[in-house]
Amino acid sequence: MPKALIIATNGFEQDELFKPREVLLNEGVEVTLASLSRDPIQGEKQGEKGAGITPDALLTDVRAEDYDILVIPGGVANPDKLRTSDAAVQLVRDFMTANKPVAAICHGPWLLAEAEVVDGRTLTAWPSIRTDLRHAGAIVVDKEVCVDGNLVTSRKPDDLPAFNRELLGKIGVRVPETA
C-alpha cells in the first residue's frame, strides 16, 4: 500500500488538505499528516476560518524514505510558516533528491522555492507567488495542473480534480474519474 505524507500547519486552505487526503484514503493509500506540533491545526476556506485537524506526527519525526509522495497544501499562512521550518525545508529537499513525487498547490510551491528545488523546473501556482518562483529559477505557467518529472503543481482549489488525478497517478494508484 502506498504511503503519502501531507505537511501543514495553521492557515492551510481547507479543501487543499482535506480533498487530496480524502481521495488518497479512498484509494487505500496510507496518509500521515505532519505538522510543527501535535496540537490541532486550523484551516481556512477562502479567507474565513475553516475546519481543523489534529496532526498524526511531528515534522521532525518523519522521513522522506518512509513515504511515496509528499503533498503540500496551500493557503497563504501555511507554506509561509512552513518555509521558516528547517525540518519542512529539509523534508522537501529529501523528497526531491530521492526523485519521489512532490505535489504542491496554490501557495504550497513557496516552500519549494525556499528549499531551492525549483531552478529550471516548470510549475504553476497562485498568481501572487509566481514572481517569487521565477526569482528562484522556475519556469512558471498558468494552467490547472503542471507535471515536471516528479513535481506536480496546481494554482487553486478549483484545480483540485486535475491535481488529485496527477498525484494519484504519480504513485501508481488507479485514477478514478471523480478524483
Residue 60: which CATH number? Answer: 3.40.50.880
What pLDDT was estimated at residue 46? 80
Domain membership of residue 97 (yes or no) is yes
Domain membership of residue 47 (yes or no) is yes
Contacts of 157 (CB under 8 A, 6+ apart): 13, 15, 16, 19, 46, 105, 106
Contacts of 36 (CB under 8 A, 6+ apart): 9, 58, 59, 81, 82, 85, 88
What pLDDT was estimated at residue 177? 59
Residue 57 φ/ψ, nearest 5 degrees:
-155, 165
Domain membership of residue 179 (yes or no) is no
Q: Which domain holds residue 9?
A: 3-170
What pLDDT was estimated at residue 176? 54
Decide which of 54 and 176 is more confident. 54
pLDDT of 129 above 80? yes
Angle at 69 between CA 68 and CA 71, to 5 degrees: 155
What pLDDT was estimated at residue 173? 84
What pLDDT was estimated at residue 175? 67
Contact status, residue 103 vs residue 71, Cβ threshold 8 Å:
yes
> Closest by alpha carbon to 171, among 7, 20, 14, 13?
20
Domain membership of residue 72 (yes or no) is yes
Number of domain units in the chain:
1
Q: 47 falls in which pLDDT band (50, 70, 90)?
A: confident
Partnered with residue 5 across adjacent β-strands are 32, 70
Domain membership of residue 178 (yes or no) is no
Beta-carbon count within 10 A of 154 CB: 30
Q: How far, in Å, CA of 5 to CA of 8, rounded? A: 10
pLDDT tens profile 137-176: 999 999 999 999 999 999 999 999 999 999 999 999 866 5
Domain membership of residue 76 (yes or no) is yes
Domain membership of residue 102 (yes or no) is yes
Q: 65 falls in which pLDDT band (50, 70, 90)?
A: very high
Active-site residue list? 106-107
Domain membership of residue 177 (yes or no) is no
> Closest by alpha carbon to 114, among 140, 142, 137?
137
What pLDDT was estimated at residue 80? 94
pLDDT tens profile 72-122: 999 999 999 999 999 999 999 999 999 999 999 999 999 999 999 999 999
Residue 132 φ/ψ, nearest 5 degrees:
-60, -40
